[in-house]
Structure 1
């Protein structure tokens, strides 16, 4: 296969998970098991040794389960990824995601700053659930770190800290105390601080208009951060995820760890709200459904606005690789009763997730919820 014919995406820099086009990957499928998906942690030498052992065992198990024709295709695909599975991690890399298919001439290699679950799957389409869960937990957010003289604006993307802007003002050189009274000096200094914070707000407004972020963490020492939070216009104030104390010269790791804690707490709160919204709609017979079949039908009809899933949900079933009929809790028949096409065993939750991506529905993962758990961890809020 000519290298130039390959659809290759290989990142040699860290890639935020939000930058991976998951919707495009959800559109990819075949009637045969030809798409290999590999997720490997790469943070340490111990990971490397365990990765070699894991990939070797999984490759043998997968190949032993394939027909002669698919064995050859699988070997070709493994040859494609061989140089990428165990190559030296780049600085900051904690995980690696590979999607590959020899028949589709497809090779995606993504290096990420997050530690991923170890997984290797051969299926009729890329295996996207681990990536989807990481995207749910690690959507992009901003951090504004400031005091009364300096402001630093960052975007945190999958634990990658991007410096967006840096503003500073030398208040004491602009307003020397000299022979002024303490009261007048303090009044002038307060006015200068307010002017500086107004400049910071305009910078944040401009920067946020170009970024799709979950929200903004406001941090710093002293009272300047609280004063700025109060001065923010409504559209920015409602984006604040939290306000916390941090030194203005905090190292990157400390900024990311503190920001992650607040952003993840905000995500958990949003998930709880979605689950409550689902329960409320179900109680009053409104725009919501529970269970695999009702959710599947709503997605197929384009009625589902938000697919709500328990994060650890897994439901065995099968799919027709030709007409995409999905059935849960059943063994795959020899051929699809609807179209006669080939069938494959699947995790129905993965298939519902891909269907949501293809139909433009949002997806919300919930840590725990008794109502969802009673319906195999699957439900949906409807558009109509």
Structure 2
């Protein structure tokens, strides 16, 4: 499918979270010819500039040498479109850059990222999305709610960019002065004021979570206020609490991100392992599961896949017909498709399955090697029906 008019040009001037990139829309774009250039550049550290230039020069030459004269001309025009973006210095906070381009379609997307992608340059019939998918799996959006009995701050962390979304505070001592009260009376009123403040925080958390699309949030802070707050949260919001951890209120932003990322990493590993276990159980019991490239491909084409499971770091050679999308694994491409006589091209089948999952609104989970039940198959699927 050709890109829509509103999709032709996207140029970010500052680093953007990975989740801001419309990967599902990009997965809809493809052509019969190899006209889409995808470039992934890690940019943190000065040594990367030299290594990137060597890699880029080598890959560009290799791609040119492999193309027919007509496609070589298209490719050279495309690289001229992106040359300045490939070699320019990073802006503040930019640790990676992803570029998708096609001169034939006047298509140019440049994304500056706060995180590092894998180094890669690919010319294909569509934007190459697998490295971007892995980034999205590693850097999901989540929140950190830092709270004590006087103050609450909700920070949203997106691809290591921390943005404070909400801040509430109360001055308990000014509201409740001792005067002639007994200590017991004063303590009772103070506890009531703390509960009132935390109830206000709980209401704000529900509103904030409703406005932001996040995996969940970490409840953090010193003392017992965070546990009290959790008990005041509505049940549906409590289910979004990823962990409760001790943390000082004056923690630096970098330390906040580091602590939150550690929680998210552990949570992701646990979720991935659980999905792998669910998949294994479904296979053993003859449940709603498909495994192996062919069965998973068929289930995706029929729109039956709820969650596509991909073994991390996996790759499967194969070919695809760019006209009818006939996808075959572990085979050399014939001169023409046996279904429609259309042109064929060599592909990474895992990449094609990922794109197909995006087009059919299936979830995707990258599974660790030790959790995947059958490493010979590389992919599996939990089915909707």
Tell me the residue number matched to 2:268.
Answer: 267
Tell me whether 1:253 sits opposite 2:251 in the alignment.
Answer: no
Is 2:276–2:371's contact at 8 Å kept on the other side of the alignment? no
Q: Over residues 326-372 of structure 1, what are the superposed CA-to-partner deviations in whole Å (9 max), with x where a residue is unaligned? A: 11110111111111111111110000000111111111111124654
Shift of 1:159: 0.7
Is 2:369–2:375's contact at 8 Å kept on the other side of the alignment? no
Shift of 1:64: 0.8
221-230 or 107-116, which moves further after superposition? 221-230
Tell me the residue number matched to 2:96.
Answer: 95
Tell me the residue number matched to 1:227.
Answer: 228
In 2, Cα distance between equivalents of 1:87 and 1:198: 50
Tell me the residue number matched to 2:108.
Answer: 107
Q: Over residues 209-242 of structure 1, what are the superposed CA-to-partner deviations in whole Å (9 max), with x where a residue is unaligned? A: 1111100101111111121122212111111001
Is 1:17–1:134's contact at 8 Å kept on the other side of the alignment? yes
Could you say if the C-alpha distance between residues 170 and 5 of structure 1 is closer, same or farther in structure 2, counting changes exceeding 3 Å? closer
Shift of 1:374: 3.6
Is 2:277–2:371's contact at 8 Å kept on the other side of the alignment? no
Could you say if the C-alpha distance between residues 373 and 214 of structure 1 is closer, same or farther in structure 2, counting changes exceeding 3 Å? same
RMSD after superposition: 1.4
Unaligned runs of 5+ in 1: none
Tell me the residue number matched to 1:319.
Answer: 320
In 1, Cα distance between equivalents of 2:285 and 2:84: 56
Could you say if the C-alpha distance between residues 352 and 5 of structure 1 is closer, same or farther in structure 2, counting changes exceeding 3 Å? closer
In 2, Cα distance between equivalents of 1:270 and 1:36: 34
Shift of 1:5: 11
Tell me whether 1:167 sits opposite 2:146 in the alignment.
Answer: no
* TM-score, scaled to structure 2: 0.96
Could you say if the C-alpha distance between residues 113 and 371 of structure 1 is closer, same or farther in structure 2, counting changes exceeding 3 Å? closer
Shift of 1:6: 9.1
Tell me whether 1:118 sits opposite 2:122 in the alignment.
Answer: no
1:208-247 equivalence runs, <5 A = 208-247=209-248
In 1, Cα distance between equivalents of 2:179 and 2:245: 35
Tell me the residue number matched to 1:44.
Answer: 45
Shift of 1:41: 0.8
In 2, Cα distance between equivalents of 1:5 and 1:17: 20
Tell me the residue number matched to 1:309.
Answer: 310
Shift of 1:34: 0.7
Tell me the residue number matched to 1:71.
Answer: 72
1:339-378 equivalence runs, <5 A = 339-369=340-370, 371-378=372-379
Could you say if the C-alpha distance between residues 6 and 83 of structure 1 is closer, same or farther in structure 2, counting changes exceeding 3 Å? farther
Q: Over residues 92-120 of structure 1, what are the superposed CA-to-partner deviations in whole Å (9 max), with x where a residue is unaligned? A: 11111100010011110001111111111
Aligned residues: 381
Tell me the residue number matched to 2:55.
Answer: 54
Tell me the residue number matched to 2:36.
Answer: 35
* TM-score, scaled to structure 1: 0.96
- Structure 2 residue matching 1:78: 3-state secondary structure: helix
- Structure 2 residue matching 1:120: 3-state secondary structure: strand
In 1, Cα distance between equivalents of 2:86 and 2:375: 40
In 1, Cα distance between equivalents of 2:376 and 2:191: 58
Tell me the residue number matched to 1:188.
Answer: 189
Q: Over residues 163-222 of structure 1, what are the superposed CA-to-partner deviations in whole Å (9 max), with x where a residue is unaligned? A: 101111111111122332222221111111111100111111111111111001011111
In 1, Cα distance between equivalents of 2:327 and 2:7: 31
In 1, Cα distance between equivalents of 2:375 and 2:130: 21
- Structure 1 residue matching 2:12: 3-state secondary structure: strand
- Structure 2 residue matching 1:12: 3-state secondary structure: coil
Tell me the residue number matched to 2:296.
Answer: 295
In 2, Cα distance between equivalents of 1:219 and 1:370: 30
- Structure 1 residue matching 2:211: 3-state secondary structure: coil
Is 1:5–1:105's contact at 8 Å kept on the other side of the alignment? no
Shift of 1:299: 0.6
In 2, Cα distance between equivalents of 1:120 and 1:278: 33
Could you say if the C-alpha distance between residues 5 and 284 of structure 1 is closer, same or farther in structure 2, counting changes exceeding 3 Å? closer
In 2, Cα distance between equivalents of 1:15 and 1:73: 29
Tell me the residue number matched to 1:178.
Answer: 179
